[in-house]
Amino acid sequence: MRSAPTILHLDMDAFFASVEQASKPSLRGKAVVVGGLGPRGVVATASYEARIFGVHSAMPMAQARRRAPNAAYLVPRFALYRSVSERVMGLLRALSPLVEPLSMDEAFVDLEAGGTAWDERSARLAGAKLRADIRAVTGLTGSVGLAASKMLAKIASEQAKPDGLVLIEPGTERALLGPLPVRTLPGVGPATGDHLRRVGIHTVGELAEAGEDELVRLLGKAHGHALFAMALARDERPVVAERETKSVSVEDTYDVDIHDRVRVGTEVRRLADRCVRRLREAGLSGRTIVLKVRRYDFSTLTRSETLRGPTDDPAVVREAAARLLDSVDTTGGVRLLGVGVSGLADYTQEDLFAQAAGVPADDLPHEEAETVPAPEPETPAERRWPAGHDVRHDVYGHGWVQGSGLGRVTVRFETPGSEPGRVRTFRVDDPALQPAQPLPLVPRRPGEAEGAGAGGGVRAEGG
């Protein structure tokens, strides 16, 4: 483990909810919950104001509504979140070539590799500047942890929340870890935590006192050795800049179980096409097609088929997924479907054939126009106005949907830089009201390209 706290861990504060609050002046300082709003929806992120009521990520949305009935409940805007995330990750890459993203709102940075920090003072300055830059570019806050290892940097950022910076000085690690609960350590989930508690081990200090042999006996060789090392603050894992993508997949959960076998087949084909679009956007192909089916009784089945060579052909993926579906009994109903592709490669079987024939891959006939599915039919009116999404009215300008139903849609007209706006209600088919792109969370700086502003220039929604 290094001798200076030059590994940084950034965790954006309540990221999705904070983006929504920054975008909507009337929600600042209010309880905001982002997630699926259907009967089976779950919370993706809750603002700190909502967490006071016990609302947290992965909680069923129905339970969240009971705990915080007056919170604002919004449908995620993933394209906007990704756009803001790209700006934050750009700030991190300016600090070092070694940036290891864990998700849209979390990453490790090796400051030493970028020459940004080499001791405690320079690391603290780099962390403080990063927090200021994030606020200036996005209007959001992030918590920063600095330490001599990844494990400790992540623990430090958790202690810094919200909107703080914690640096763990080398030599103080054992004293800091000792009183913390064992669940603080990576790899200690609910089951391992319960197992350790039953034998009287509650804290990291007690874990270290138990000894390596006892932990191996209790947890097995690999897990026991790893946890003992972490209890002694030993963590030699490097910051890894790129992680190899192992699979590409998409899935949908349905508010009402699907019983119609024809509808199930249609949904699988639609998911296969979405999966292929993601493959092509990433410049990948794959050999193994995977189908996931969660039935009415919550039982989950997966089926897979491995092809002779990698493909990104929508027709091939659709046909393989349909064959896999034939082997699954959907009697009783289906609540979730997913299609994925694994065994990834950066070429397709068609490319190899072209190379063998001396034909450039770009000269091959394209099937894009034939294989991309036709636009889906119009959805019901209420579904066209998801809560929290952006709209524009010919008279009143930019706003966002507060709610819709019974043939009406309620809109609050405000922008990220305005005062809290007024609320108006319209018919869902009002021709003056149209969906709109999100506005930048902060004004663009002079000379900044259109679409490069934090949260601006969102071109497409993905997932």
Q: Rounded distance, CA 452 to CA 99, Å?
A: 21
Annotated catalytic residue, options 106, 112, 267, 350:
106
Cβ-contact 288, 307 below 8 angstroms: yes
* Listed residue (248, 266, 288) closest to 337, CA to CA: 266
Tokens 């949908």, residue located: 252
Query: 10 Å Cβ neighbour count for 87?
Result: 20
Amino acid (one-letter) located at 242:
E
Report d(CA 289, CA 277) in Å as an integer.
14
DSSP of 78-106, one letter per residue?
HHHHHHHHHHHHHHHHHH-S-EEEEETTE
Residue with tokens 């003072």: 121
The residues facing 286 across adjacent strands are 311, 344
Q: Which amino acid does the sequence have at 267?
A: E
Whose tokens are 């294989």? That residue is 371
* Contact status, residue 81 vs residue 35, Cβ threshold 8 Å: no
Q: Is 43:36 a contact under the CB 8 Å cutoff?
A: no
Known catalytic residue: 158? Answer: no
CB proximity list for 92: less than 8 A, separation 6 or greater? 10, 99, 107, 109, 130
Measured CA to CA, the distance from residue 310 to residue 284 in angstroms comes to 9
3-state secondary structure at position 286: strand
Please tell me the distance from the alpha carbon of residue 391 to that of residue 385, in angstroms, as a whole number. Answer: 9
Q: Distance from first CA to last CA of the chain, Å, rounded?
A: 37
Active site residues per annotation? 106
